[in-house]
Amino acid sequence: MRISLNTVTVKERWGLADCIEGCARHAIPGIAPWRDVLQAMGVEQAARHIRDAGLVVTGLCRGGMFPAADAAGRAAAIEDNRRAIEEAHAIGARCLVMVCGGLPPGSKDLPAAREMMRAGLHAILPEARAAGVTLALEPLHPMTCADRSVLSTLGQALDLCDELGEGTGVALDVYHVWWDPDLARQVARAASRIAAFHVCDWKVPTTDTVFDRGLPGEGVIDIKAIRHMVEQAGYTGGFAEVEILSKRWWTHDPDEVLGEIKRRHQTAV
């Protein structure tokens, strides 16, 4: 698999233009922007710069965050997702990664939050289909269920894909799924619906469950085994997207980080 750089990996030091130029310097052929850096650069300018650099946009992160405390909040989330679809289309992203949202503030009603997620996905799917943008549902580790995503397993994500149909897939992030005892079966079930494959590592001890990811090879995830599962299932995307949310790595020089990513890609991915 070739490498794609998720821009959050160097977010403290580089904007999107820097990331694009860094990918070119390090011969990294793919990029996956987050919407904040995309909007800061300007969508049209970013699209031109990415095209001129010859980069493949493996995904745009992120859509989702549907559950809200009231109808106005849910409507605002849907409108923001429609804008995200437009942005993904404009930059030629292979998918829009969907982080679907946690419990609304003050709520303990998990089934209701999951229903809001379903309703939101149904609401934006026609626009995604019309734009040719795949909604890549990303299950997050259950530790994030309260505040980031009520979609916790690959099996849940695939059940939603079965329900929603054309225009949906899954984003498989090893950080979030490596622990799942049903992973092999669900990856095989996913087959061609794997729209993105994200790699990083789970450090032991982990000092922060969101912002202490390791580079591949720094932790306990058997990334090679999961990559083999994904390829055997029929993933044809050809990219392993490196997504490192790390307060530690964010302090390093981004060119050093990209060089280290390339080295570790050879041994740990």
pLDDT digits (tens, 9 = 90+) for 150-193: 999 999 999 999 999 999 999 999 999 999 999 999 999 999 99
Write down the pLDDT at residue 77: 98
pTM, rounded to two decimals: 0.97
Write down the pLDDT at residue 38: 98
Write down the pLDDT at residue 244: 98
Q: 54 — alpha (psi -120 to 50), left (phi > 0) or beta? A: left
pLDDT digits (tens, 9 = 90+) for 239-254: 999 999 999 999 999 9
d(CA 51, CA 72): 37
Q: 160 and 151 in contact (C-beta within 8 Å)?
A: yes
Write down the pLDDT at residue 203: 97
pLDDT digits (tens, 9 = 90+) for 3-40: 999 999 999 999 999 999 999 999 999 999 999 999 99
pLDDT digits (tens, 9 = 90+) for 43-91: 999 999 999 999 999 999 999 999 999 999 999 999 999 999 999 999 9
Tokens 């794609």 label which residue? 4
